[in-house]
A and B are shown apart, each in its own frame.
Chain A
């Protein structure tokens, strides 16, 4: 293939994507209600204990009653929501920096997630995440 054609196509794609981004700006769509609705669509039989909503409304943690010991996570990706149910061994690491908790998953399609939390939610979230790590240990606090 002609390299100039490839470069030209790439530039056209970039311009179209920027244009799409300008015409359709992503809105704040993640709230407690939307997270629960989306998560129940994803896991209809799950029973949510409570919701921990991130300060920047990009991630919501959902500790579950059923299936017991698992953690529901809803994250905002562009203008859509993505759900996962994390169990023991699904996380590889997590870090806490100030009010931000970040964790990495073993799932190739859901690699990293970040959530900003109030002090009162941070301890609970850390405990929930820590319980899912294969080798439980203190996070890399900074």
Chain B
């Protein structure tokens, strides 16, 4: 059964709206943040849709999580929320988030849900709210199961995940350049996360962290922001529409089309589990191929200059 814990995100929503408004006015006055009306609407509407679909699928995801905890837990951390349990659950949940997020970029099935968050060419606080409607259709749910098997109650993990989500809101901004060095070293910051949202070849597939940037440093995916290479936000192939339905389902439509046209069961499976951009004939580009081509161009330019 769920524990009687409040939902942190429900309390944070009014603050999100106030902070978006504050960034809007600050950006208008200083030019340090940029917005566009239709983009802002699309981002925030996707956020509303995500809240509705999340509520609709909560019973299913929680029941599955509770079943795992009840039947397979190794230790029993109890059902009381102490500071120690909270800290342990928060760190483990953030580690699970790192892998969910990394797979969200490296497996097309999970990318189909996560791509929504990257589909804006803007980077402001409203972008933080541009969230998926279809996360429950992906294998992302399994990545938190080890925490339940360890013995931490799903309600506590979900409680921590709420705070994780709240933390990630403020890093979606261009208003803050760099935080103090010690903070940049440990925590995910606007600078680190701008790199994650950039489609410059140098920055692709990096900085998956939720709260602690140490996971990227530990697993080799950390890329610092460079002052000589400003971030260009959005997708490799940006969307040509603000239609929320096209934003929410475009990658799913792409997967279905590709699977329908696949020549073998292996190809069908690969269209689901291979990285975005994978094709049997290499006619589209994965992020590795884009980086490789970019590196070759940089090298050729250097040689020509010499």
Contacts and interface: CB of A to CB of B under 8 A. Distances in A.
A78 interface: yes
B178 interface: no
B37 interface: yes
Which of A6, A13, A20: most chain B Cβ within 10 A?
A: A20
Given A24-B34, A24-B37, A80 B48 contact: no
B39 interface: yes
Interface in B253-306: 253-254, 293-294, 297
Contacts of A23: 24-25, 27-28, 35
Contacts of B55: 1
Contact of A1 (B41, B52, B242, B250): B52
B36 A79 contact: yes
Interface stretch (B165-173, B218-226, B231-239): B231-239
Nearest to A26: B36
A56 to B, nearest CB: 17
Interface in B6-49: 13, 17, 20-21, 24-25, 27-28, 34-41, 44-45, 48
B48 A20 contact: no
B253 A108 contact: yes
Given A1-B55, A24-B34, A108-B254, A16 B44 contact: yes
A10 interface: yes
Chain A interface bracket (under 10, 10 to 19, 20 to 34, 35 or more): 35 or more
A44 B298 CA distance: 12
Interface residues of B, number: 40
B121 interface: yes
A13 B241 CA distance: 18
B250 A108 contact: yes
Interface string A42-65: 101100000000000000000000
A117 B94 CA distance: 53
A113 B240 CA distance: 9
Contact of B297 (A14, A24, A44, A83): A44
Contacts of A24: 27-28, 34-37
Nearest to B294: A44
A39 B250 CA distance: 22
Interface in A72-129: 75, 77-80, 82-84, 107-111, 113
Interface of B: 13, 17, 20-21, 24-25, 27-28, 34-41, 44-45, 48, 51-52, 55, 121-122, 126, 232, 234, 237-242, 246, 250, 253-254, 293-294, 297
Interface of A: 1, 6, 9-10, 12-14, 16-24, 26, 41-42, 44-45, 75, 77-80, 82-84, 107-111, 113
The 6 closest A-B pairs by CB, nearest first: A21-B37, A17-B41, A110-B240, A20-B35, A78-B36, A20-B40
